[in-house]
Amino acid sequence: MTTDAPVISAKNVWKLFGSAPEAYLKGMKPEMSFDEIRADGYIAGVKDVSIEVSRGEMLVIMGLSGSGKSTLVRCFSRLHEITGGTIEVEGQDIMSLSEKELIELRRNKMGMVFQSFGLLPHRTVLDNVAFPLEMRGQDKHARRERALEVIKLVGLEGREDYFPRELSGGQQQRVGIARSLAIEPDIWFLDEPFSALDPLIRREMQDEFLRLQQLLNKTIVFITHDFDEALRLADRIAIMKDGAVEQCDTPDQIVLHPATEYVRKFTEEIDKARVVHASTLLEPGLSGEGDPVDAAASVQSLAKLLIQDTRVAIPVAKDGTVIGAISRETALGILVGTD
């Protein structure tokens, strides 16, 4: 995650479904609830959302079915026309783009992976992965080379000539990921890509996905309804309800400081010690002596030290440099569930 200008910037975005959404939005009373809007015959798929995605960030959007997470991501790529607000991609207002310009943006900047693999059954793995390059008009030799490169990247080398029916669910998902990577997108949208997989394969795919992100450093918007998956993958998590973003923050902050009652209920079963890292617990003005702990260490991984240590304050280091200290008492409280 960087401090560059945001790759995606959404401001006060609305997506209303109904007979005359633009006119309704203009005449709508401020702060109308989702249910009040629905009583008027409209559905607020996205309700006044403002959010930014930084370059190289993995933003995970989550919520229950019908919360608006998929609708919001489709607005980001203008697969849905928004009813109100603005969406900029790399500083460009995508609502002002012509159809041709929009197609070029999607072809050259955006990769998309969905829950349904969408593979072409009569094409081999190689031909499936090369398909978007073929649609772009790339010559056969160049698209074959690129397809082979990403097939190797996702761990399917040796299966180039297999057909989708000859692959497992996890392998089919890898083909879908490879196909979206073939165009070398700067922005990657993934809509519950692993939810159809069994738990073991799903975990393996999450590991593979994290490996790819470390290698490629894409800007990613990832949709899931699984909080454990979100915690494993996210730089930040946006939790949605009834079309609105209830809270958008780091996993640590969401479990420590839920912004609404809905978020609190969403996170109450989560083991905070597994999520909260030492860097999150740094206290201004606090200093400690002795060996430091790593800033990226979770409270759970520090359990033995916290129980046996007698220091009031424990120093924390990042890349070998001490950056502050944490209170042992505070960390213990999270470990045993009293904070």
3 state SS of 3 = coil
- Encode pLDDT of 155-199 as tens digits: 899 999 999 999 988 888 889 888 888 888 899 999 988 877 778
Tokens 């998590």 appear where?
237
DSSP codes joined into one string, 14-40: EEEESSSHHHHHHHPPTT--HHHHHHT
3 state SS of 245 = strand
Token pair listed for 310 = 């007698």
DSSP codes joined into one string, 152-173: HHTT-TT-TT--GGGS-HHHHH
Residue 69 amino acid letter = K
Widest CA span in the chain: 67
Q: Which residue has the higher pLDDT, 132 or 94?
A: 94
Question: Residue range 44-65: average pLDDT?
Answer: 95
CATH superfamily of 8-271: P-loop containing nucleotide triphosphate hydrolases (3.40.50.300)
3 state SS of 61 = strand
Is pLDDT above 80 for 128? yes
3 state SS of 46 = strand
Per mean pLDDT, which range of 32-36, 204-208, 250-254 is the poorest? 204-208
Residue 36 has a CB neighbour count (10 Å cut-off) of: 13
Where do the structural domains in the chain lie, given as residue ranges?
Answer: 8-271, 273-336
Question: Residue range 89-103: average pLDDT?
Answer: 94
Q: At 3, phi and psi to the nearest 5?
A: -105, 15
pTM of the model: 0.87
- pLDDT score for 182: 86
The answer to whether residues 98 and 26 touch, using CB atoms and an 8 Å cutoff, is no
Pick from 16, 80, 98, 52: nearest CA to 245: 52
Contacts of 293 (CB under 8 A, 6+ apart): 278, 302, 305, 314, 315, 316, 317, 326
CA-based torsion, 302, 307, 311, 312: positive or negative: positive
- pLDDT score for 1: 47
Question: Residue range 309-321: average pLDDT?
Answer: 95
- pLDDT score for 111: 86
Pick from 98, 99, 128, 123: nearest CA to 113: 128
Residue 245's DSSP bridge partners are 240
| % of the chain at pLDDT higher than 90 | 70
Question: Residue range 142-164: average pLDDT?
Answer: 92
Reported as a pLDDT band with limits 50, 70 and 90, residue 20 is very high
What CATH architecture is 273-336? Roll (3.10)
